[in-house]
Amino acid sequence: MQVSAGQLRHKVALQARQETRSDYGEVTLDWTDVASVWAHVAPQSGREYFAAQQVQSEVSTRVTIRYRDDVDATMRVTHRGTTYGIEAVLPDDGSGFDHLTLMCSEVTT
């Protein structure tokens, strides 16, 4: 299955953790944009569940982008003010180099 340019109509940012050191040697981890790419963003499911006596919400989203060799599950995606943690990076089932499907869950802060 090939992904046409018309299907990739959402602009998303791919982010990675970056370690920085202050002048005092203090290490901080922060998210930095790696790339801004066109994607197809499709919510997969939504469910609520009880955990630790609190109602929590989990949203699964599938983000499809053109193939890149620098995307992995330690990264995250931001789209329209929402941040998604990448749970899995799946190559296309044909050549493996056409597109990537990123299985994501919404990150709450």
DSSP letter for each residue of 43-86: EEEEEEEEETTEEEEEEEEEEEEE--TT--TT-EEEETTEEEEE
Report whether pLDDT(30) > 60. Answer: yes
pLDDT at residue 95 in the model:
84
> pLDDT band at residue 56, thresholds of 50, 70 and 90?
low
Tell me the mean pLDDT in the region 42-70: 75
pLDDT at residue 108 in the model:
80
CATH 3.40.50.1370 fits 5-106, yes or no: no
Tokens 């193939």 locate to: 67
> pLDDT band at residue 58, thresholds of 50, 70 and 90?
low
For residue 55, give Cα distances in angstroms to 49, 59, 72, 106, 107: 6, 13, 30, 15, 15
CA–centroid distance for 80 within its chain: 12
Tokens 């180099």 locate to: 97
Question: Which candidate, 85, 81, 101, places its Cα nearest to that of 3?
Answer: 101
